[in-house]
Amino acid sequence: MIGLEDLRFVAALSRTGSLSAAARALDVTPPALSMRLKKLEAVLGVNLVIRSSRGLRFTPEGEQLVLEAQSLLARVDGLADSLSGGVFAGPLRVVAPFGFGRIHVAPVMAAFIREYPQVRATLHLSEAPWNSNVEADVVIHIGSVRDSSWVAHLLARNARWVCASPGYLRRHGTPSHPRELAQHACLSVRENEEDVTLWRYRNSHPSSRRSEALRISPALTSNNGEVVRAWAVAGLGVALRSEWDVAPSVKRGELRRLFVEYEFEGADILALVPTRRGVSARVSHFVESLKTRFQPKPPWRSN
């Protein structure tokens, strides 16, 4: 007989693509999941996956089980809501970037739980939320998404600004054009598997919209945006950072925005929801709560 944990295992295996990654997502050991897979295949009398040197793929029977598991899990997750008379209840699993999640997502979750105390919420902070191996109902992602397995809800437009501290600019001069950054110390963030050394920009004037690209040679690189912002504030170089992250520092005078007449490639803030049937009402309501915080004007553009 197939149990609920078997369905969660199959769904996790489909999303992560390997037993070791699924084990991390479910917080169990790989040998335990390997044994569960063997027992599940024995119960069903079919092979569910094919393992090779290139990885793991589902058989047609396995793919059918994945679809059924996703549908059944969505219905189970929504059952608490439907039986609670309109009061949201049950699990809510959210994955978000470290800095943005701590500053902006955590308060929304706190308010949501105060209003709906029967919801059991988890916030997992990750360097790469979209590629995280953690099971999630909502993923907060900054940047573009080209994956049909997720539905993207726009939370806020997010430009990228080039910034440096007043002290750095006094010591090294203020560049007047992005090409002059070749003579400056640049700071970069390695995130979401992007090419962090290629900064794309274009003149914001309507009559001149040709895009250009600048290849930088970073003096310092980190996988944490807050670290890079702190380096910039400390006068260690020029950084290209999300508006949400550096706008408060610019307002306080810790950083100065450069090249205002140019637009650098932006990274919109999205709430991603899996494209499975029957997304629960509490997940949909939580996404709407996020939109309320960031629309029509996000907090970093207030005042």
What digits encode the pLDDT tens for the residues 64-117? 888 888 777 777 766 666 655 556 878 899 999 999 999 999 999 999 999 999
Q: Around Cβ 227, how many Cβ atoms within 10 Å?
A: 16
Name the more confident of 4 and 156: 156
What value does the mean pLDDT take over residues 277-294? 86
263, 269 Cβ separation under 8 angstroms = no
Of 128-132, 186-190, 211-215, 229-233, least confident by mean pLDDT is 128-132
pLDDT tens digit string along 208-233? 667 888 999 899 999 888 999 999 99
With 0-12 / 13-18 / 19 or more C-beta atoms within 10 angstroms meaning exposed / middle / buried, residue 302 is exposed
Residue type, 294: F
Residue 160 has pLDDT above 70, yes or no: yes
What was the pLDDT predicted at 69? 80
Pairing type for strands 138-142 and 90-97 reads parallel
Residue 252 has pLDDT above 70, yes or no: yes
Residue 222 parent element (H or E): strand 218-222
pLDDT tens digit string along 145-154? 776 678 889 9
Residue 143 has pLDDT above 70, yes or no: yes
**What is the C-alpha separation between 173 and 170, in angstroms, rounded?**
6
Percent of the chain at pLDDT exceeding 90:
44
What value does the mean pLDDT take over residues 182-189? 93
What value does the mean pLDDT take over residues 199-216? 81
Pairing type for strands 160-164 and 238-242 reads antiparallel
- Split at pLDDT 50, 70, 90, the class of 278 is low
Residue 260 has pLDDT above 70, yes or no: yes
What was the pLDDT predicted at 159? 93
**What is the C-alpha separation between 294 and 301, in angstroms, rounded?**
10
What value does the mean pLDDT take over residues 176-184? 93
